[in-house]
């Protein structure tokens, strides 16, 4: 399958929506970070496709349910559509850190599934996240550009990544700034 558009992988909590130490368990708890839905719309208008890559261990932990998670995704997708954007696909890991799965970030399983499903060249892709796990996942999957946003857990992640000498390719204050960097880096402009 031939890749038609460049791909941007996004984490969810702390990148698109406000995160919580108690998890986002229901659609009522989902709140967009300012400008994040608009940032995704700008990506889509500029010729990119967006795939969500998210750890959701609240399922394994029994804190929430798959129907609640699907409702959260639907609310998110509706808010993004209202701004003119769309999510091409969603890959999530429901497992806990103790289960040893291949999909929980920083392992690359979810990105590898997406690469296989859509024939994506990882070297041309981007990953935007707010944690060291997101950056590690991108590196482990061979993603060309790993970006850190300072929303969510980004400030703490930046310190961790610097201590580990594994800095992101770019650090942005939020998703909109990350998207603007991606578009500028690729030389894309919004489609008429």
Active-site positions read 11, 13
Q: What is the DSSP string of 94-139?
A: ---TTS--SSSTTSSHHHHHHHHHHT--GGG-EEEESSHHHHHHHH
Q: Where in the chain does DSSP place strands (E)? A: 7-10, 49-55, 89-93, 126-129, 145-149, 170-172
32: CB partners within 8 A, 6+ apart: 16, 17, 18, 76, 79
Q: Do 189 and 55 contact (CB within 8 A), yes or no?
A: no
């Amino acid at each position: 399958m031939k890749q038609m558009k460049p791909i941007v992988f996004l984490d969810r909590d702390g990148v698109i929506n406000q995160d919580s130490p108690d998890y986002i368990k229901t659609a009522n708890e989902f709140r967009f970070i300012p400008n994040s839905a608009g940032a995704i719309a700008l990506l889509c208008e500029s010729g990119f496709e967006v795939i969500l890559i998210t750890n959701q261990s609240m399922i394994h932990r029994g804190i929430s349910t798959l129907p609640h998670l699907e409702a959260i995704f639907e609310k998110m997708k509706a808010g993004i559509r209202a701004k003119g954007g769309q999510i091409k696909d969603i890959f999530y890991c429901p497992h806990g850190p103790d289960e040893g799965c291949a999909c929980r970030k920083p392992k690359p399983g979810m990105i590898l599934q997406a690469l296989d499903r859509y024939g994506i060249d990882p070297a041309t892709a981007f990953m935007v996240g707010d944690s060291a796990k997101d950056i590690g996942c991108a590196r482990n999957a061979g993603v060309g550009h790993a970006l850190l946003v300072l929303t969510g857990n980004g400030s703490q992640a930046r310190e961790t990544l610097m201590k580990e000498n594994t800095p992101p390719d770019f650090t942005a204050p939020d998703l909109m700034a990350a998207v603007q960097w991606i578009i500028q880096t690729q030389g894309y402009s919004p489609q008429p």
